[in-house]
A and B are shown apart, each in its own frame.
Chain A
Amino acid sequence: MGYASTVKVPFGPQHPALKEPEHFLFEVDGDTVVGVTPRIGYVHRGIEKALELSTYGHGIYLAERICGICTIAHTCCYAQAVEELMGIDVPPRANYIRTIMSELERLHSHSLWVGLVAHEAGFDTLFMYAWRDREVILNLFQELTGGRVLHAINTLGGVRRDISPEMADKVRRALEHFEGRTKEYLRIVRTEPTFLRRTRDVGVLKPADAARLNAVGPTLRASGIKGDVRRDDPYVAYDEMPFNVITSDSCDVFGRTEVRTEEMMESIGIIRHALEHLPEGVFRVRAPRNVPAGECVSRVEAPRGEDMHYARSNGTAKPDRYKVRAPTLANIPALCKMLVGIHVADIPIILAGIDPCFSCMDRMVFVRSGGSTGRAR
């Protein structure tokens, strides 16, 4: 007969199904979600305020730390913005190296995600395989940049390290192995009946809703809309790279899996092309200390979608205003739409479906440094 009224169920900030602290208040009627209210901000570190208090040179270290997975996307976006304000041209070799690094980052982020969604679907074997194979990319990062997680490869005026011909060969060999594994994942996610049953028609986002709610990245593309900053508003060397913008018409978690896995194949192609056509010359130019007054909007396609930085300078060594909009925040309205009308049991897999990165999203408010962040309030 059902209940006379709905029940409110708090979910998070500390919850076994969430990998990062965030709070969602679900209104449920029996087993069906009828409403959801998100409350974000549990991992705020005040990065926007900190950027305004730091010099441009210092800012790149802060940008590196906005997110642990998309550090290259954020530093690339930051460096682009500041370089535009400074009026300096980055050498072509640096742009190619930035492209290679951005795509390696997409490979490691997407394989991390394939593992996570497999885990949420109860398919832990795939989770283990995906994370094992992801080590190949992390090891490459260590050799290329010196760091597995934070790479600090981008700097104002170019990149910090070159890619030698021997290193390029190592990357090619690693990609050959990784390509074989990715093909295997594509086969598994498309044919494994339990995975299909767990992801098909789960977390549906219709194309009209995806466009109206301004979703970004694979979440948008899995709803059949061809939106990709790399193609629409090319940056670094993407205008010289051959690649397809992958979309899926299934509009559900399965579509999001398919889009990300196929994107990994495209990324492998981009890296190979960039290594093959790597221009000769310097990989870094000197950046001035002070920046003339001005403003600019910089965008990159992070693994989770469009990332935007806005910078306003006032002629000093520190920005007057610096704004960061990470892709997860843009996907929150779409996520809330997906979560209404579903079964409570599907909440974790739908949340994982947008590949949320809450610390990327929560970046702008000052919370005490050390100790108290992420506490339930």
Chain B
Amino acid sequence: MILQVQGVTKRFGGLQALTQVTFDLPEGQILGLIGPNGAGKTTLFNVIDGVYKPDEGRVIFLGEDVTGKKPYYLAKKGLARTHQIVRPLNELTVRENVMVGACFGHASANLSTAAKIADEVLDLLGLAPKANALAGSLNVAQKKRLEMARAIASQPKLLLLDEVLAGLNPSEIASMVKTVRAVRDRGITIIMIEHVMSAIMNLSDRILVLDFGKLIAEGTPEEIANNEKVIQAYLGDPKLAERLMKGE
């Protein structure tokens, strides 16, 4: 198991953001994380990568209990993530942004190696022509790719993707889906939060459904699409799931 989340609970004041969330993630899989807005998906990411300390429970990453460890500790150990709301380092160039990932993440590269990694990753994400532009000058779709590029450049073992498809047009989605597959084929385990159902149903090996901070279902895409609870809580329309599976 690359990641084990055991009984994680997180409260903000009176708000129960996560309640007793438990799951295991084997290496090499793509795990989909879905649920309505406000279900606690991003909070779960923030607990896993050390931005928040859980009130209860443990996070075990690569066999080590990392609960309450700082985000940079986890990054060095092999975790990387993207942000739902992009956070480019605006006044740095696109290449420099990616080099930050390569230098300080799990890759721990020196500057010249980092530049090589950056150029390769920018190529993979189709950002090579923009390498010398300031990150602040990119459009939203490019900024999402930049988030991805920074995360991949750190050569992580586990990658958390927070809505990398949101706000993209269909052709952009198609190419991003391809990229995610390519990343997985490099042996990187992925957890992805996504609202674009067709994409997540197609990509995921397994899916977790979060509702009001609780895990309400877990299984293969087929199982989730046919799960009564999920349909009630989230998908709403029983036929919807079927259509989604076909990618309509």
> Are both chains from one complex?
no
